[in-house]
């Protein structure tokens, strides 16, 4: 798994609407990458629902959430609509798991990304990374604690 202090690998992925989203487009503000295994799975559904409830607080702190799984943009669109999510869902679909691999989160055994959070500072450097067991997700208290330590303007 990628470690704090590393330069975050850039990527460009389609969102739920097929629009291309690049990590580089968010330079100057912190980004929280939310890697999750699969749309419509019970734990992922709970996780993204909880993060959606706190989305205004993330946005108030200037943090952009980007949720990433290996599902297709079409699946993301259905999942987003089903849960009334407003955060972007990015499709690491083809080549499958390429971004998850770049961040050291790919599970060859299951063919999905591991459940993880990667906080990237405004300069594009990994500030914090956390991998969770497959059936657990990190709560927002842990995330907000880490965000409070983020240095203004990056490192």
72-116 tens-digit pLDDT: 999 999 999 999 999 999 999 999 999 999 999 999 999 999 999
- pLDDT digit string, tens, across residues 6-59: 999 999 999 999 999 999 999 999 999 999 999 999 999 999 999 999 999 999
Kindly report the CATH number assigned to the domain that includes residue 85.
3.40.30.10
Place of tokens 């770049």: 102
For the chain, percent of residues with pLDDT exceeding 90: 90
Torsions phi, psi for 59 (to 5 deg): -65, -40
Active-site residue numbers?
Answer: 44
Domain for residue 65, yes or no?
yes
> Given pLDDT bands bounded at 50, 70 and 90, which one contains residue 134?
confident
Residue 90: HSE in the Cβ half-sphere, 13 Å Cα cutoff: 22
The domain of 123 spans 28-148
Q: Which residues are paired to 34 by β-bridges?
A: 67, 117
Domain for residue 9, yes or no?
no
Domain for residue 1, yes or no?
no
Q: Are 3 and 36 in contact (CB under 8 A)?
A: no
Domain for residue 57, yes or no?
yes
Q: List the beta strands (DSSP E) in 24-122.
A: 31-35, 64-69, 89-91, 106-107, 112-113, 116-120
d(Cα 47, Cα 56) in Å, to the nearest integer?
Answer: 16
26-30, 59-63, 130-134 — which is least confidently predicted?
Answer: 130-134
Give residue 149's pLDDT: 82
The total number of structural domains that make up the chain = 1
């Amino acid at each position: 798994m990628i470690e704090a202090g590393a330069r975050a690998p850039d990527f460009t992925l389609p969102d739920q609407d097929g629009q291309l989203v690049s990590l580089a487009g968010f330079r100057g503000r912190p980004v929280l990458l939310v890697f999750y295994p699969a749309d419509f799975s019970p734990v992922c559904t709970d996780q993204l629902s909880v993060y959606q409830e706190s989305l205004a607080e993330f946005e108030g702190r200037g943090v952009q959430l980007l949720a990433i799984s290996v599902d297709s943009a079409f699946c993301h669109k259905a999942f987003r609509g089903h849960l009334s999510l407003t955060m972007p869902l990015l499709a690491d679909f083809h080549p499958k798991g390429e971004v998850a691999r770049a961040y050291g989160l790919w599970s060859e055994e299951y063919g999905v990304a591991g459940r993880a959070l990667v906080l990237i500072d405004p300069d594009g450097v990994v500030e914090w990374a956390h991998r969770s067991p497959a059936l657990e997700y990190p709560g927002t208290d842990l995330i907000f604690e880490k965000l409070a330590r983020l240095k203004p303007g990056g490192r």
